[in-house]
Chains A and B, each alone.
Chain A
Amino acid sequence: MNEFLTDAALFLPVLLRGLWTTILLTLCALVVSVMLGLVWATMARARFGPLRAAAATIINVVRGIPIIVQLFCVYFVLPEAGINLYPFAAGVIGLGLAYSVYQAENFRAGFEAVDPALLEAAKSLGMDDRLAMRRVVLPLGIRIALPPFGNTTVMLLKDSSIASTITIAELTRAGQLLAISTFKNGTVYVLIALLYLAASLPLAAGVRMLERRMATR
């Protein structure tokens, strides 16, 4: 136990730096996934058929490819097309894209759960489709989508470990390097696990709090 603690004290600064990268990566990918997800979900509601078809295709294709493969595509294949990305940027784009389809599904379900009578109320006030979307469907749908959104965000935090495969020094990779150089696999991976928990538990609690605040309205 004593040895664990002294090792932990030694490793923690390195791992915390990795955790910081993990959090940064998760937040950036979250922003990308939410923005893209809203685009897909809005397209999926469009009047114009081809737009709906495009949304459905994007969602099915992206959902059908493993995240690690998507990351490799962004990191290794794009440079061949002349687009060179820093690993971190590739990670943000890859994870953001991969998660955008889950976010889109959350939002789509949320939009669909908005009482159609409220949409009619908006229209009867003279709102066109776009204004009604912005003022009524979007804010209410996002509220409904909040619980699944929270789950998705926690999953994204955990899946950000996949970015270790494209040389981003986030928590998992920082730990791997440490384990390789010190042979203290047990200590390192227990610490990594604890650090992921330390990040995801408050995240889940935060989403629940947000949910409760909005539910009182």
Chain B
Amino acid sequence: MTPGASPVTRSSGEIPDRAAAAGGNHGAGMDVGKAAALHIALADWRRRSTWVDMVMLALRVSLLVLVSAGLLLSLAHNEYSAADWLSFAVFGLTLGSIYALISLGYTMVYGVLRMINFAHGDVFMAGAFGALIVADPLIATGSLFAVLALIAVGAATSAAIAALIERVAYRPFRHRGTLAPLICAIGVSFVLQYTVRGFFGTGSRAYHDIPVLDGVVILGPLQVPLVQLFVILAALLAMGALHLLVQHTRLGASMRAVAEDRETAALMGINADRVVTFTFLIGGVMAGTAGVLYALVFKQIHAFMGFAIGIKGFAAAVLGGIGNIPGAMVGGFVLGLAESFGPAALLSGFGIPAPYQLKDAIAYGLLVIILIFRPQGIFGERLAVKRM
């Protein structure tokens, strides 16, 4: 697919670039004049690169200038205190936890099927609503255990829906080699959105206040909402569990084997369909967990929220290198932190009023920037091309 294929072609311009730079350094160390060596290297690079490489280089340089200028100006402005920056960091990690959990579903499904599950954002949304059904009686008990039960219900809802989607909407079309799965994903996405709207209405809904998560924790000059710490902790636990599952169980090994070479995995007796179902299930568990955590932090959920947040999760997966599990986790946190730091750190210096309104511009700007510098994502390999 495109995210895999493009890096290889696009990055080709970089190699002569680097080779030339290395040649330049080498020449400087020898008797040949530094300037002459540089001149030769430059001429060599010009000869080897196309206008696309030139444009990319110009883009990279201007981006670097813009970002550094924004950063320096903002720092000079000195508008925010140290405590402000710390609270941005905690909020960024909170947001990042949620993005990271969502992005895992995209990346695992891509790893196993080389397909983007565009309904995944709505799987996330459905988890938040699944928990809403049981939220009142659970929250009424007032215990922390009830919050965990809420997460479990959300996770189970999303997992069941994700596995169902795979079974009825993707599997029948898997070997057809057409756009059918993509169209199905979009269809499923609408079905989920309008089903939830039918049951819960168009407006925003919320869980009742949960007293155990209400307070703030005071860390030196910093007041951190307890719920944010809870969300970060819960997400880290979920990701730790996922890591153990993928790296240290037979099921996890079979999943990695199918991702790498489906046919040979079959020769080992691994049923790829089972592995695919399992992949959707755990992707759903992560998304449902994210859905409940999101509802706890932002205190409002609605039927159409899955689209925008799902795209962010997808962006996080691409950022980390799609198909790469640790990459998705890191990508989520990078995106969350960028969104929370970016407006203050990059925009306030330019004197832009209400920079926080532009947080999405920062988030997607970051995505574009990272992909310009590193088309394969942070952890992605050059060899992201389909191996079949």
- Whether A and B are associated in the same complex: the answer reads no
